[in-house]
């Protein structure tokens, strides 16, 4: 049997391996691949515009055909701010096995979206974590990427086709897939330009008519007491914000906060309270709740909405002993001990989204439209459809 390739007009034999299809998606982009059937393959004939630096982070080289201003802007957006390196990348590498053990429940709305896609669809999970959504729809093909090599190894050990990549610089061909998902990823990006670029990348890699599902944590939390237990970023973290494209420094908080253990999927397992915006046809069976933004804990002293937080992750001592990364994190001040809870506490950077913020990020895009938007269990979510190729 044969099936039509996602690249127009080409047919391939069905016995092609998933690895072959995966390589076809990234061919010419110079990335190292980790999958269930190959330890590491470096793609030949790499494009001169894309290389891997020694630390495995993608970098864009200069081109005479690109203006200096545009080139500098692109490099600035794709250069990872220190706060993300320290409080996102390094943290998830250190906690990966423990984090993975808590990430097994599938969010019903995401599952419904994936199950609604046509047979044979090629789906990208950008920021796939431990790969819990990879392969959810057995009639589709899945590939995934994540910034954390430790999480990608977990995915590869489970037989998934994955690689290490940055959400703002996806190593895939333009117009290659039928759909893409970004679940709880964008809130780890520390600047508006990087968040917008990540959305543009998701749209770029799907073909015309392809769908993109994005979910992010909301500032309008259903459990408002949760916000008071996160650490708002204030001027005492000024050192971490210095640099091109860094977020504005928030005013000091008037609250005394304490760390709390992490919760599964930010409360996604609960039940919605009331109906707000219905999902597309395949997702109409469950309703969405309307957030209320009346809690003063969401407002900083200067009257602005507080959206930058450190959210703790408690890594039990017995888990920390397995991972040597914790010793280094403690020595460098990137983690602290909590002897009462018997855990090493890591802080993860989050920018929680306000109502309408996701929509504003895509408002200037001329190649995609919003086909659905909804709030569900403390998350803002949108579904985009790509309208133009390229």
Do 134 and 100 share a structural domain? yes
Band (pLDDT 50/70/90 cuts) for residue 380 is very high
In a domain, residue 362? The reply is yes
User: At 222, is the secondary structure helix, strand, or coil?
Assistant: coil
In a domain, residue 16? The reply is no
Other residues' Cβ atoms within 10 Å of the Cβ of residue 76: 15
Residue 110 sits in which domain range? 79-221+353-386
More reliable by pLDDT, 121 or 276: 121
In a domain, residue 46? The reply is no
In a domain, residue 9? The reply is no
133: buried, middle or exposed (CB in 10 Å: 19+, 13-18, 0-12)?
Answer: buried
Q: Is the pLDDT of residue 314 over 80?
A: yes
Give me the pLDDT at residue 22, please. 55
Give me the pLDDT at residue 228, please. 81
Do 211 and 90 share a structural domain? yes
Q: Is the pLDDT of residue 197 over 90?
A: yes
pLDDT per residue over 69-82, tens digit each? 445 455 677 789 99
pLDDT per residue over 25-72, tens digit each? 665 454 555 555 444 434 333 333 333 333 444 333 343 444 444 454
Band (pLDDT 50/70/90 cuts) for residue 351 is very high
Give me the pLDDT at residue 227, please. 81
Do 149 and 187 share a structural domain? yes
| CATH number of the domain where residue 189 is located | 3.40.50.150
Other residues' Cβ atoms within 10 Å of the Cβ of residue 349: 25
Do 86 and 215 share a structural domain? yes
* Of the listed ranges 288-292, 347-351, 383-387, the one predicted with least confidence: 288-292
User: At 2, is the secondary structure helix, strand, or coil?
Assistant: strand
Average pLDDT, the chain: 74
- In what order do the strands lie in the sheet containing 162-164? 38-42, 32-35, 162-164, 141-146, 122-126, 177-183, 206-217, 379-386, 368-376
Do 357 and 217 share a structural domain? yes
Q: Is the pLDDT of residue 279 over 90?
A: no
Q: Is the pLDDT of residue 153 over 60?
A: yes
Give me the pLDDT at residue 332, please. 83
Do 124 and 83 share a structural domain? yes
Band (pLDDT 50/70/90 cuts) for residue 385 is very high
More reliable by pLDDT, 9 or 84: 84
Q: Is the pLDDT of residue 91 over 60?
A: yes
With CA atoms as reference, report the closest residue to 120 among 93, 138, 102: 138
Give me the pLDDT at residue 29, please. 52
Q: What mean pLDDT comes out for the span 223-250?
A: 62
Are 322 and 333 in contact by the 8 Å Cβ rule? The answer is no
pLDDT per residue over 318-338, tens digit each? 888 655 778 888 888 889 999
In a domain, residue 279? The reply is no
DSSP characters over 333-368? TSEEEETTTTEEEEEEEEEPBPTTHHHHHHTT-SSE
In a domain, residue 337? The reply is yes
Band (pLDDT 50/70/90 cuts) for residue 383 is very high
DSSP characters over 260-310? ----GGGGTTS---S--S---GGGTTS--PPP----GGGB-TTSSBP-EEE
Count structural domains, the chain.
2
d(CA 18, CA 161): 7
Three-class DSSP labels, 327-338: HHHHHCCCEEEE
d(CA 348, CA 70): 31
In a domain, residue 123? The reply is yes
* Of the listed ranges 16-30, 141-155, 165-179, 297-311, the one predicted with least confidence: 16-30
Share of the chain above pLDDT 70, in %: 62
Which helix (DSSP H) or strand (DSSP E) does residue 369 occupy? strand 368-376
Do 170 and 133 share a structural domain? yes
Give me the pLDDT at residue 24, please. 62
Long-range contacts of 255-258 (CB under 8 A, 24+ apart): 255/228, 255/297, 257/228, 257/229, 257/230, 257/231, 257/232, 258/229
Do 231 and 139 share a structural domain? no
Do 216 and 179 share a structural domain? yes
Do 207 and 326 share a structural domain? no
Do 204 and 125 share a structural domain? yes
Give me the pLDDT at residue 28, please. 47
d(CA 332, CA 74): 31
Most confident of 10-19, 51-60, 357-366: 357-366
In a domain, residue 59? The reply is no
Do 215 and 185 share a structural domain? yes
- Cα dihedral sign, 185-191-195-201: negative
With CA atoms as reference, report the closest residue to 159 among 142, 175, 171, 147: 142
Q: Is the pLDDT of residue 181 over 90?
A: yes
């Amino acid at each position: 049997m044969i099936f039509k390739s996602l690249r127009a007009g080409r047919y391939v034999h069905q016995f092609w391996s998933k690895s072959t299809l995966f390589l076809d998606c990234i061919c010419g982009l110079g990335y190292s691949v980790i999958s269930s059937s190959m330890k590491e393959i470096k793609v030949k004939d790499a494009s001169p515009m894309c290389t891997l630096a020694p630390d495995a982070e993608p970098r864009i080289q200069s081109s005479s055909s690109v203006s200096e201003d545009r080139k500098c802007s692109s490099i600035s957006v794709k250069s990872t701010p220190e706060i993300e390196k320290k409080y996102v990348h390094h943290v998830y590498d250190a906690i990966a096995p423990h984090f993975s053990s808590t990430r097994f429940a599938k969010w019903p709305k995401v599952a419904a979206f994936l199950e609604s896609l046509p047979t044979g669809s090629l789906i990208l999970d950008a920021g796939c974590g431990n790969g819990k959504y990879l392969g959810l729809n057995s009639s589709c093909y899945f590939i995934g990427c994540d910034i954390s090599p430790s999480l990608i190894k977990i995915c590869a050990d489970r037989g998934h086709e994955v690689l290490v990549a940055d959400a703002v610089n996806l190593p895939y061909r333009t117009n290659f897939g039928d759909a893409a998902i970004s679940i709880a990823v964008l809130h780890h990006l520390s600047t508006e330009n990087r968040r917008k670029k990540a959305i543009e990348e998701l749209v770029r890699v799907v073909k015309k008519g392809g769908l993109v599902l994005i979910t992010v944590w909301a500032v309008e939390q259903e459990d408002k007491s949760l916000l008071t237990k996160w650490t708002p970023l204030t001027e005492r973290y000024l050192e971490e914000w210095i640099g091109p494209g860094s977020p504005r420094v928030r005013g000091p908080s008037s609250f005394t906060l304490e760390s709390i253990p992490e919760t599964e999927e930010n409360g996604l397992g609960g039940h919605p309270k009331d109906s707000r915006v219905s999902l597309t046809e395949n997702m109409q069976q469950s309703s969405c709740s309307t957030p209320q933004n009346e809690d003063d804990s969401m407002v900083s002293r200067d009257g602005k909405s507080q959206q930058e937080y450190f959210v703790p992750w408690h890594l039990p001592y017995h888990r920390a002993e397995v991972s040597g990364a914790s010793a280094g994190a403690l020595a460098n001040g990137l983690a602290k001990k909590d002897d009462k809870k018997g855990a090493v506490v890591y802080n993860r950077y989050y920018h929680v989204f306000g109502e309408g913020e996701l929509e504003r990020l895509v408002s200037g895009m001329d190649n995609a439209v919003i086909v659905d938007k909804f709030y569900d269990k403390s998350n803002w979510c949108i579904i985009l459809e790509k309208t133009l190729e390229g």
